[in-house]
Amino acid sequence: MMSDLNLAIFLAVCLSACAAAATEDALMSRALKLMSETPLIDGHNDLPWQLRKQFNNQLEKVDLYKLDTTHTNIPKIRRGRLGAQFWSAYVPCETQYKDAVRQTLEQIDVVHRMCQKYPEAFMFASSSQDIRDAFSRNKTASLIGVEGGHSIDSSLGTLRTMYQLGVRYLTLTHSCNTPWADNWRVDEGTEPSQHNGLSPFGKQLIVEMNRLGMLIDLAHVPVTVMDQVLDLSEAPVIFSHSSAYAICPHKRNVPDDVLKRVRDKRGVVMVNFYNDYVACAESAKLSDVADHFDHIKKVAGAGAVGFGGDYDGVTRLPEGLEDVSKVPNVVAELLRRGWTDEDVKDALGNNLLRVFSEAEAIRDSKVNDTNPDDVPIPYEEVKTPCRTSFGYSHAGPTLSLSATLLLLLQALRGLIAGAAS
């Protein structure tokens, strides 16, 4: 028979467990309520690449209601309350100088076809207003981000064509240098710098992306490129799937001095869930992910943080975040840590909506006084056996006037900063 003391202890443990469970239930209820009021906008999901790998983009062979070999399917999306998703149009660096443009166009195509096949679940989106409209219709707004500058084959015309097809961000590099930008592995020391960040054409590209209203994604770039873009871009920038370097010192993450510059630029860092970037280890916990949210909020403010899970693009995910259905767990954890409702709503989607809207406003301000940049990259910088030279003169191209003026302004800023120091 249980003694009075043991009975008291047993009852105390039971009461404590019940109280803890009630608290967790209350936090989750509050999290789901906030997610019903503000769209969760995730910056990066590689489901389209899984569709290529597993089915060669043959959607007739796929049922997204039953697909169980990915982190993402329609039931998981609905349980995860995913209001908007930037689907990644990613192709590997091995396609550079070969068929990167074709393969990227096929990834753009598969996102469009996914929306057409499942109109009850997805609504294709290409603007901040489209995200709001899809959310009001209880559909997942489906946007496209091209992951890797090698996908445009050093062509501003290709960049513009992809924008017309609905692409709304470009990740400047993936894990290889392009003819105009260094990638993050330069900071890791596993690849040499070729451009000291951005080449002159790379800086042209930033100007043209501002003119288009295309978001500049600094995930996968070295710190030099981060700083150069933050100097050049008129519009806020994003990190579509990166975390905080101070919590996990991986070169794919964002250092504190850059976080502060992102804050000043009114940009957003969308936290990646990959264990290697979250805990710098093969295993990680939900609390480790929340630590990154906390740190970015502490350094740059609640206005600079968002969600960028990288589902279906990574092989290891934290306990409690195994697929897209589990994202509300992060929201509940942030609430448990004392985040206000407004802070959570900012992180869920209001920050990205603000960034997107500001990029659109800058685009609209340029409609009447800025023409498309049609100065190509110098042929010598892209010359390969697979590339022809049609259209190039012996004199070679020159920078556009707008790009030249911006580069001169950047140089002047450098001189002023040098004199001040």
Active site residue ranges: 44, 46, 147, 174, 220, 241, 310
Tell me how far apart the alpha carbons of residues 212 and 372 are, in angstroms, rounded to a whole number: 9
Q: What are phi and psi of 10, to 5 degrees?
A: -60, -45
- Give the whole-angstrom CA distance, residue 155 versus residue 128: 26
Q: How wide is the angle at C-alpha 72 spanned by C-alphas 152 and 307, nearest 5°? A: 70
Distance separating alpha carbons of residues 241 and 270, to the nearest angstrom: 5
DSSP H/E element including 226:
helix 223-232
E-only strand ranges, 80-239? 82-90, 122-124, 140-147, 167-171, 215-217, 238-239
**Cα–Cα distance measured from residue 35 to residue 173, given in angstroms and rounded to the nearest whole number:** 32
**3-class DSSP assignment, residue 115:** helix
Q: Are strands 82-90 and 215-217 parallel, antiparallel or unpaired?
A: unpaired
C-alpha dist (Å) from residue 222 to 193, 377, 380 = 10, 22, 24
The answer to whether the CB of 358 falls within 8 A of the CB of 346 is no
Q: What is the CA radius of gyration of the chain?
A: 23
* Cβ(198)–Cβ(228) below 8 Å: yes
Here the tokens at position 407 are 């580069």
What is the secondary structure of 318-357 as a DSSP string? Answer: -BT-SSGGGTHHHHHHHHHTT--HHHHHIIIIIHHHHHHH
What's the rounded Cα separation, in Å, for the pair 212 and 205?
10
Note whether 264 and 221 are within 8 A (CB): no
What is the distance between the alpha carbons of residues 417 and 173, in angstroms, rounded to a whole number? 28
